[in-house]
């Protein structure tokens, strides 16, 4: 069964600190993996998208890694800011027709001052 598991479920950090969010998946055949940021009550916004051949991709203070062998991905946030408080969702898609996007439940990050 295609699944995406994220950890931790929630995380609280102090402003300026770094953090890493984890995503494990069992999606096959794998097409790509995306990380989305979703502010409370708003739609998800794409941060990064990685295909099978990409190991790391950065978007400002966000760096995503992908290990296709172990089927794991991480999202590292550097020098966190209050505006980073949001839900971070890992989404994996499979190579098939239609829209086989499998969503994780997300990690809720709270950055406090």
Partner 1 sequence: ETGVTQTPRHLVMGMTNKKSLKCEQHLGHNAMYWYKQSAKKPLELMFVYSLEERVENNSVPSRFSPECPNSSHLFLHLHTLQPEDSALYLCASSQDGVSNTEAFFGQGTRLTVV
Any contact of residue 62 with partner 1 (CB under 8 A)? no
Any contact of residue 96 with partner 1 (CB under 8 A)? yes
Nearest to 70 by CA among 33, 108, 97: 33
> Burial, 53: exposed, middle or buried (Cβ in 10 Å; 0-12, 13-18, 19+)?
exposed
Token look-up 């099978």 returns 52
Any contact of residue 41 with partner 1 (CB under 8 A)? yes
Per CB under 8 A, the list member of 2, 105, 110, 112 interacting with partner 1 is 105
Token look-up 């996007």 returns 101
Per CB under 8 A, the list member of 14, 69, 70, 99 interacting with partner 1 is 99
CB of 77 to partner 1, least distance (A): 21
| CA dist., res. 93 & res. 28, Å (int) | 9
| Interface ranges with partner 1 (CB under 8 A) | 4, 31-32, 34, 36, 41-46, 49, 51, 89, 93-101, 103-106
């Amino acid at each position: 069964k295609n699944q995406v598991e994220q950890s931790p479920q929630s995380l609280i950090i102090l402003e300026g600190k770094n953090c890493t969010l984890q995503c494990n998946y069992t999606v096959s055949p794998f097409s790509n993996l995306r990380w989305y940021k979703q502010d409370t009550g708003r739609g998800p916004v794409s941060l990064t998208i990685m295909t099978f051949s990409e190991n790391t991709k950065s978007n400002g203070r966000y760096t995503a890694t992908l290990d296709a062998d172990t089927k794991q991905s991480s999202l590292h946030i550097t020098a966190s800011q209050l505006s980073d408080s949001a839900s971070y969702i890992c989404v994996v898609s499979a190579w098939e027709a239609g829209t086989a996007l499998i969503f994780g439940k997300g990690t809720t990050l709270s950055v406090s001052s």
